[in-house]
Amino acid sequence: MTSSTTGTTPLSDGLDHFLDKSFGRPGFSADDEPALRIRPGTGERIGFETNDEVYAQLHDHRDMGRLTAQLNPVTGPLYVEGAQPGDALAVTIHEIRLKDCGWSVSLPGVGALQDRMGSGMFTRRVPIDAQGVHVTDRHVLAPAPMIGCIGTAPAQGTHSTVMPSYAQGGNMDLTDCRPGTTVYLPVMTEGAYLSIGDIHAIMAEGESSFVAIEAEGVAVISVDVVKDLPLRAPRVETESEWIFVGLGDPVQESIRRGYEDVFDFLVHTHGYSTGDAYALLSAVCHSRLGGPTGSTAPDPLHPMAPIGAVTTHHLPKSVLTP
């Protein structure tokens, strides 16, 4: 059963484990002490509370120089017993519990609309209540919560929680990472070290603003391990689709890699002939723009300017039915 709530359910109610936002970290790393260790496949529900203090500070001060909060922290890491390099972590998202407000923010020089928004900083506190998400005085929209930042740790070093997106996940900003889906992430180090952050109350695909309706909340998940499933990029399973993430620079490379992964899934996992797989992809596999964070580390002189692209490639499960 999937659901999203807006303040009606206590943050830790009914959970087997709860990681509050004090476990927020500035990166994905296996060097961090695990916040929790669990056995996979038990069905235990784990809540990851996220932290949007940085947006509250921007709203109060309108000054990047006065920030004391972490930018886009992730909560964790979660150590999964038995997870080994070459496996995949299967993270099922059961529920996202939203708090009472979200944020819309325009940072100077950031996002696709930077030339339209000008050099000033725009911030808006967006109330969330039983009516919905109050994006403007005239537009109260139904919440569609999703997880923007989810990933495992690299084999060495630390991955950013801002940009780029990585093979192990990261700040992908995919609307598909929502309740009712399972996210498959490559395991690169023993224990996987899963971390989650950056919940959105509602976000259009592509996230034109770079900072959509961000909202603190609790992501409720369970975890399993798929042995010997080496992935070169994350995958998302919904009730009706398999979604393959493409990462590359330029965008054409991202699209090519995503299509290759769908093709290999049909041929090597499901036994389709190359001709059948080729024809099916051209007929039913839709591609979309993913999050805005890019696939390649940005120029250090322009740390908020994305390079490369994140794309998603959608295969209907109906074509897998014998």
Give the 3-state secondary structure of 110-139: CCCCHHHHCCCCEEEEEEEECCEEECCCCC
Tell me the pTM: 0.95
Q: What is the mean pLDDT of the chain?
A: 95
- Using CA atoms, how far apart are residues 125 and 119, in angstroms rounded to an integer? 20
pLDDT in tens, 176-234: 999 999 999 999 999 999 999 999 999 999 999 999 999 999 999 999 999 999 999 99
Residue 2: pLDDT band with limits 50, 70, 90: very low
Asked if the peptide bond before residue 250 counts as cis, ω within 30 degrees of 0, the response is yes
Number of residues written out for the chain: 322
Task: Note if the bond before 179 is cis, omega within 30 degrees.
Answer: no
Contacts of residue 140, Cβ cutoff 8 Å, sequence gap at least 6: 131, 132, 133, 134
Q: Which amino acid is at 246?
A: G
Report the percentage of the chain scoring pLDDT > 70.
97
